[in-house]
């Protein structure tokens, strides 16, 4: 006799996965996760394939991927094994980067405790030239030749600064920290008036690019923030679930400007 396929009621699957029933209803409504079938009484029933698809959805949501991007990935040509293997590789690379950041942070804390000055080459280990090169390669691979040209133009703009590229970058990163600190505070306070904060952030981006940042480009930058695990990890380190709020806020601001 054939083995009966394991089936889950919507409430059972929600409990197993640690999500709400409302979430599963939403995934059904947008076509991301359809039930195996819906009974005459309207009750949803899920099988093993749907349970596995939900597992993947949760993997990708954990790193801040948008639902539309997840749907595109799951419905693409790559099989489940290939998708999960690629995702594991990304997480392993992120774990390695975080391990390096933790090691540098621990060394910095220890140096402060011992009132010792760290060597310059040890201060910036998490931000090595190799990491920057790998990140730029990822950008060009994802966005094409136009991104390569944009990177070259941005570097040339910074290098042309009277104080030199290194000094300009240090100053601009200090400015970015102040902007991001205000954004995090607005997120944590639930502040309603946030448009001026995003305006300042957009102005900073334009200054780094050396050219205007139109609304569509700012919205595209938000997509980049959501799609790269380095950005997601960076923003989540500032505050839990801040990355999603930031991306949504950037897109809303761009939309208000006519993106």
d(CA 10, CA 33): 11
Residue 199, sorted as left (phi over 0), alpha (psi -120 to 50) or beta, turns out to be alpha
User: By percentage, how much of the chain surpasses pLDDT 90?
Assistant: 30
Contacts of 243 (CB under 8 A, 6+ apart): 64, 225, 226, 231, 232, 235, 236
Domain-located, residue 97? no
- CATH number for position 30: 1.10.1660.10
pLDDT at 35 exceeding the cut of 60: yes
Looking at the structure of the chain, the number of domains it has is 2
Record the pTM: 0.46
- How far apart, in Å, do the first and last CA atoms of the chain sit? 59
Q: Which domain holds residue 162?
A: 136-257
Q: Is residue 59 part of a domain?
A: yes
Q: Label residue 113 exposed, middle or buried (CB < 10 Å: 0-12, 13-18, 19+).
A: exposed
Position 116 pLDDT exceeds 70? no
| Per-residue pLDDT reduced to its tens digit, 71-108 | 999 998 889 999 999 888 888 777 776 666 666 666 66
CA angle 182, 228, 26 (to 5 degrees): 85
Same structural domain, 141 and 227? yes
143 and 51 in a common domain = no
**Tokens 């991927």 — which residue?**
65
- Determine, yes or no, domain membership for 40: yes
């Amino acid at each position: 006799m054939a083995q009966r396929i394991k089936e889950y009621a919507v409430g059972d699957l929600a409990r197993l996965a640690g999500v709400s029933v409302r979430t599963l209803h939403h995934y059904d409504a947008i076509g991301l996760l359809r039930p195996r079938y819906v009974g005459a009484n309207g009750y949803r029933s899920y099988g093993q394939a749907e349970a596995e698809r939900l597992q993947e959805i949760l993997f990708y949501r954990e790193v801040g991927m948008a639902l539309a991007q997840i749907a595109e990935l799951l419905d693409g040509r790559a099989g489940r094994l290939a998708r999960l293997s690629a995702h594991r590789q990304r997480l392993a690379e992120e774990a390695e980067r975080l391990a390096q950041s933790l090691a540098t942070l621990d060394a910095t804390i220890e140096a402060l405790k011992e009132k010792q000055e760290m060597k310059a080459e040890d201060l910036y280990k998490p931000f090595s030239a190799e990491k920057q090169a790998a990140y730029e390669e990822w950008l060009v691979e994802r966005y094409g030749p136009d991104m390569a040209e944009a990177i070259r133009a941005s570097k040339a703009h910074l290098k042309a600064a009277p104080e030199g590229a290194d000094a300009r970058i240090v100053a601009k990163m200090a400015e970015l920290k102040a902007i991001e600190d205000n954004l995090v505070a607005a997120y944590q306070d639930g502040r309603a008036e946030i448009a001026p904060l995003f305006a300042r952030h957009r102005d900073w981006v334009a200054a780094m690019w050396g050219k205007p940042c139109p609304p569509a480009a700012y919205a595209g930058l938000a997509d980049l923030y959501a799609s790269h695990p380095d950005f997601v990890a960076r923003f989540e380190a500032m505050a839990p679930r801040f990355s999603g709020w930031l991306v949504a806020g950037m897109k809303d601001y761009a939309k208000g400007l006519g993106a």
